[in-house]
Amino acid sequence: MSYGEKFRNGNGYNGRPHETLMDKPVLITGGAGFIGTNLAHRILASGRCVILFDNLSRDGVEQNVRWLERMHGPRVQFVLGDIRDRAAVKRVVQRAGQVFHFAAQVAVTTSLVDARTDFEINVGGTFNLLEELRALETPPPLMYTSTNKVYGGLQDIALRKSGTRYEPEDGRIRDSGIGEWRCLDFHTPYGCSKGSAEQYVLDYARSFGRPAAVFRMSCIYGPHQFGTEDQGWVAHFLIQALENRPITIYGDGLQVRDILFVEDLVDAFLLAQKHMDKISGNAFNIGGGPARTVSLVELLASIERLHGVKPRIDHQAPRTGDQRYYVSDTAKFREATGWAPKVSAAEGISMLDEWLIDARHLTPEPVLAGR
């Protein structure tokens, strides 16, 4: 019997009679965060219960918990806990029918300041989760979110300036982006910790037969994002502009990323769990792809069009670990599951701007350009 059949009918699970993994709550570690909140909302709307396991260390995320509880009532099961606490992890894993592991230290800059904490959360916390999954006879399937930083600085990719952005000289990369064929090259403590954790996830699928897959994610954005300079830069740029604070540009601003609206990412997560039989043990690059790219200066221009004024800019030197170009080739995941993003960059940026204005009770302040 395949794992998928066990997952659907509960064979091998020693819980209540006739209870299947699908009857159990979905566990989202880091569930109070931006991605966790959007995923939880979709799952809760389908009628399932969700366990949000979070230490609430990120500013503002308690608002996400309150919003989910207000929208979905008792199906939201919030557990205050830390991924480094193995006993706490064990308690929630034993109750879970599916697992999405988002709890992490998420900033390159923070990892450079405090590499030990970065390691303890990203590697140690993931190891705690994997060991508790390994202890179960029929473990819930696991989706883990890694990062494009596992590919390093990509300095060997020759780039050229093209108007308001960099683009690869290699036509294949220019047309399709970076695929999983790219060799891993961990840069910064953050890249090392996330890369190490994802390799543990993939090996537990291989060595212990635990159903698990990895998303190496590019830039995700959307509602419920409390963006900062270090993480969530699309939301951060919009927030800074709305509050008439300067936006810091590190380098020349021609750096390019593919951006993916969070609802499209949620679609990908749900498809991944649905197709776990097929994709377990694999890592996939996930982002907006070549059709949904934006440079920093292009995002500034979009903000000017939305608000009618130029954002205030502060230029600084490039930062350690910053990639000048990264765009995901998502063909591998598309071929495995049929997934494709639907929201264009322009649509998504506008929707996030509207959400931020409403959520923060803001209006774009008309100021003189360059003030």
What distance in Å separates the CA atoms of residue 74 and residue 238, rounded to the nearest whole number? 34
Interstrand relation of 50-54 and 76-80 (parallel, antiparallel or unpaired): parallel
CB 49 within 8 A of CB 26: yes
The beta strand positions in 133-255, using DSSP E, are: 142-147, 159-162, 165-168, 212-217, 219-221, 247-250
CB 288 within 8 A of CB 328: yes
Residue 261, beta-bridge partner list: 221
For the chain, the residue count is 371
Q: Which is the catalytic residue, given 13, 190, 200, 221?
A: 190
How far apart (Å, rounded) are the C-alpha atoms in residues 145 and 201? 10
Q: Is 190 a catalytic residue?
A: yes
The DSSP annotation for 271-326 comes to HHHHTHHHHTT-EEEES--GGGEEEHHHHHHHHHHHHSSPPPEEEEPPPTT--SEE
Query: Nearest Cα to 329, choosing from 254, 218, 220, 214?
Result: 218
DSSP string, 36-74: HHHHHHHHHHTT--EEEEE---STTHHHHHHHHHHHHGG
| Terminal C-alpha separation, the chain | 67
In terms of Cβ atoms closer than 10 Å to its own Cβ (0-12, 13-18, 19+), residue 321 is: middle
Q: Which of 108, 186, 189 is nearest to 151 (CA)?
A: 186
- Sequence letter at residue 184: L
How far is it, in rounded angstroms, from Cα 275 to Cα 296?
35
Q: What SS3 state is found at 249?
A: strand
Give the residue numbers marked as catalytic: 190
